């Protein structure tokens, strides 16, 4: 058995996939340059069948920039030999880019619509019964709280009444004590 975790296995597989894609991009770039095809990031990505972000990644971008620089150095010779891109070729590239953009926008719109449908389905799954159950639960809770509040009010009234009685008793005891002390002081003047 291997001591590698699933995450390590996945990471290694991704690295292999990334290296294979980078190798494919570089091979495509060499082929395009050898044939004299105009090198651009979009053209390389399209021909290699990879995403645009990969051709701009470190380690790939530099090769494409170098190929473009080499192609830029020979425009006069290419123009003379007919290898420079024609206006029709540039227009074709522009149209292909516009088509790609349209496809991407359509895909984005489809994804948005799918997300809206999914959210709508989730909202519909909350049935009326669950809402009624929740209202009933809240009403029951409210009744319990109202009963508790009434009980606490009654307890509070009882405690206030007891406190008033205790204050009256204390006042009476104080008065009796004063009378007793006064009587004791007046009864025994020698003390």
Q: What is the enclosing helix (H) or strand (E) of 184? A: helix 128-187
Q: How many CA atoms lie within 13 A of 174 on its CB side?
A: 6
Residue whose C-alpha is closest to residue 49's, from 12, 11, 22, 13 = 22
Other beta carbons less than 10 A from residue 173's beta carbon: 10
Q: Is the pLDDT of residue 43 over 60?
A: yes
Give the Cα separation of 14 and 20 in Å (integer). 10
**Torsion angle of the four alpha carbons 11, 16, 22, 25, in this order, in degrees rounded to the nearest 10:** -130
Other beta carbons less than 10 A from residue 38's beta carbon: 16
- Judge contact between 25 and 44, C-beta under 8 A: yes
**89: pLDDT confidence band, cut at 50, 70 and 90?**
confident
pLDDT score for 3: 80
pLDDT score for 88: 78
How confident is the prediction for the chain on average, in pLDDT?
87
Instruction: Name the least confident of 7-16, 70-79, 124-133.
Output: 70-79
Q: What is the pLDDT of residues 155-165, one digit of tens each?
A: 999 999 999 99
**CA distances from residue 110 to 34, 103, 152 in whole angstroms, order as listed:** 40, 10, 59
41-48 helix and 6-35 helix, angle to the nearest 10 degrees:
120
**CA distances from residue 68 to 57, 84, 145 in whole angstroms, order as listed:** 16, 13, 77
Give the Cα separation of 186 and 100 in Å (integer). 116
Q: Is the pLDDT of residue 128 over 90?
A: no
Distance of CA 64 to the CA centre of its chain: 35
Per DSSP, the three-state class of 86 is coil
pLDDT score for 73: 79
pLDDT score for 123: 73
**7: pLDDT confidence band, cut at 50, 70 and 90?**
confident
């Amino acid at each position: 058995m291997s001591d590698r975790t699933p995450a390590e296995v996945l990471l290694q597989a991704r690295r292999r996939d990334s290296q294979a894609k980078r190798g494919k991009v570089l091979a495509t770039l060499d082929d395009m340059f050898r044939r004299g095809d105009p090198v651009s990031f979009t053209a390389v990505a399209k021909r290699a069948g990879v995403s645009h972000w990969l051709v701009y990644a470190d380690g790939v971008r530099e090769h494409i920039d170098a190929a473009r620089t080499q192609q830029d150095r020979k425009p006069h010779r290419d123009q003379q030999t007919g290898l420079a891109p024609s206006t029709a070729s540039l227009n074709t590239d522009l149209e292909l880019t516009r088509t790609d953009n349209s496809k991407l926008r359509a895909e984005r719109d489809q994804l948005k619509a799918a997300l809206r449908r999914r959210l709508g389905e989730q909202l519909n799954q909350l049935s009326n019964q669950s809402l009624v159950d929740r209202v009933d639960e809240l009403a029951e809770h409210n009744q319990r709280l109202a009963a508790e509040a009434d009980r606490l009010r009654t307890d509070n009234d009882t405690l206030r009444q007891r406190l008033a009685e205790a204050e009256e008793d204390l006042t009476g005891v104080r008065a009796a004590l004063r009378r007793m002390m006064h009587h004791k002081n007046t009864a025994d003047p020698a003390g």
